Structure 1
């Protein structure tokens, strides 16, 4: 797999982002039976200032967020809850999936507030970002349920508890 990681915030280096990202990306590709040798993904590991700028530029929301994704092509299902189109190799035989940005400050804060290990939350956000690259989204209700279910399944295979379960949930 070609996973191009750019670390702009050195705290990500200290957190072991490269290994966490490789594990999360490999788990998603395995879940969808995608050949990792054919897939290309770029990951920007940045801070809240950088991601706030990206969020403002691409989503018109001038605030930090945890993760952003830019799929290389539109794969979303037309029908709410439908399965997105599978990625296809381009003319070179590669499968360019797209780009992900993850912010250390927001990720670390969310992990601390939820009482979760930073490594688990980081892998969750990368899995989440990868699913966006594959055409999954959470805007419509059935799409959100589908995406969340796949996230939980993939994370479970990595030994990470369901991030959507709360103490208040049955």
Structure 2
């Protein structure tokens, strides 16, 4: 089961189909894995607070992944996404917010499944998996070089 909670209406104001996008991306990342995922679409302040409390980083970020304890099965964990950060990144990277949300959902679910990008080999493997999943969802490679909204490479 994939549960999507909207805490900041800016998500649905900008993307009326935000829930469907998240559900589709999370399902693609889960593949045949059985388990529950909760995704919270919220604002920068809420993510800033969580990032400070759980990661000792006093700033908002785009997505946070909170894997569940193994004993919590079938719950795999929770994702939290910050609207302002995600929207600003999408604009700066010349992507649609829908594509960026899809990418970050896939990325976060892969973290819940144990993937990581701490070292270069892990990062390459995780990015390759993301590229494959996103291509199936019709989303361009998020790691290819891009031009910003200002024409910078």
TM-score w.r.t. structure 1 length? 0.80
What 5-or-longer segments of structure 1 have no aligned partner?
Answer: 75-89
Query: Partners of 2:53 and 2:146 in 1: how far apart?
Result: 36
What 5-or-longer segments of structure 2 have no aligned partner?
Answer: 148-153
Shift of 1:63: 0.3
Structure 1 or 2: more helix by fraction: 2
Is residue 93–residue 146 contact of structure 2 (8 Å, CA) maintained in 1? no
Query: Partners of 1:5 and 1:167 in 2: how far apart?
Result: 30
Partner of 2:39: 43
Partner of 2:26: 25
Over 4 Å off, 4+ runs: none
SS of equivalent residue, structure 1 residue 69: strand
How many residue pairs get aligned? The number is 145
Shift of 1:13: 2.0
Shift of 1:167: 4.3
SS of equivalent residue, structure 1 residue 41: strand
TM-score w.r.t. structure 2 length? 0.89
Deviations 1:125-155 (A, max 9, x none): 0000000000011111111111111001100
Query: Partners of 1:72 and 1:63 in 2: how far apart?
Result: 23
Query: Partners of 1:126 and 1:150 in 2: how far apart?
Result: 13
Q: Which moved more, 1:53-62 or 1:8-17?
A: 8-17
From the superposition, tell whether residues 126 and 167 of structure 1 become closer, same or farther in structure 2 (CA, over 3 Å).
closer
Query: Partners of 1:167 and 1:12 in 2: how far apart?
Result: 24
Query: Partners of 1:135 and 1:41 in 2: how far apart?
Result: 14
Query: Partners of 1:133 and 1:49 in 2: how far apart?
Result: 23
Counterpart among 144, 148, 164 of residue 143 in structure 2: 164
Deviations 1:105-137 (A, max 9, x none): 000000001110110000000000000000011
SS of equivalent residue, structure 2 residue 142: coil
Partner of 1:11: 10
| RMSD across aligned positions (CA) | 1.7
Partner of 1:128: 107
